[in-house]
Amino acid sequence: MKSIVIYQDGAEKIELFDEDDRDNEGFALELSNALKSSTVSIINTSSGSLIVRPSKINSILVQDQSKATEMIPKPVKAKVKQKKEVVDIITDVDT
């Protein structure tokens, strides 16, 4: 199964899944045809269809789903505390 992540201008990423047995390179090459349109394109996958405007797409990531789950970042449990820095204010200046 393939994971397809579409990154757009100023919008949330869109993640699709497809049960395609082709290698990632061949699959990505076919997806690149959707970016050649000047108006809208339809991306059909086994999980559904997506209508996109190619001019708003920055990039598309295609990978096997097993690798996609490895790349999900783990949540950060501890917050970083900022140290308050003591600053000396100079009020007298010898001239």
Span 2-18, average pLDDT: 88
pTM of the model: 0.62
**Mean pLDDT over each residue of the chain, to the nearest integer:** 79
How confident is the model over 32-72, as pLDDT tens digits?
888 888 889 888 888 888 898 888 888 888 888 776 555 55
Altogether, the residues listed in the chain come to a count of: 95
DSSP, residue by residue, 59-87: EEEEEEHHHHHHTSPPPP-SPPPPPPPP-
**Which of 67, 13, 4 is closest to 34 using CA atoms?**
4
Give the N- to C-terminal CA distance of the chain in Å, as an integer. Answer: 76
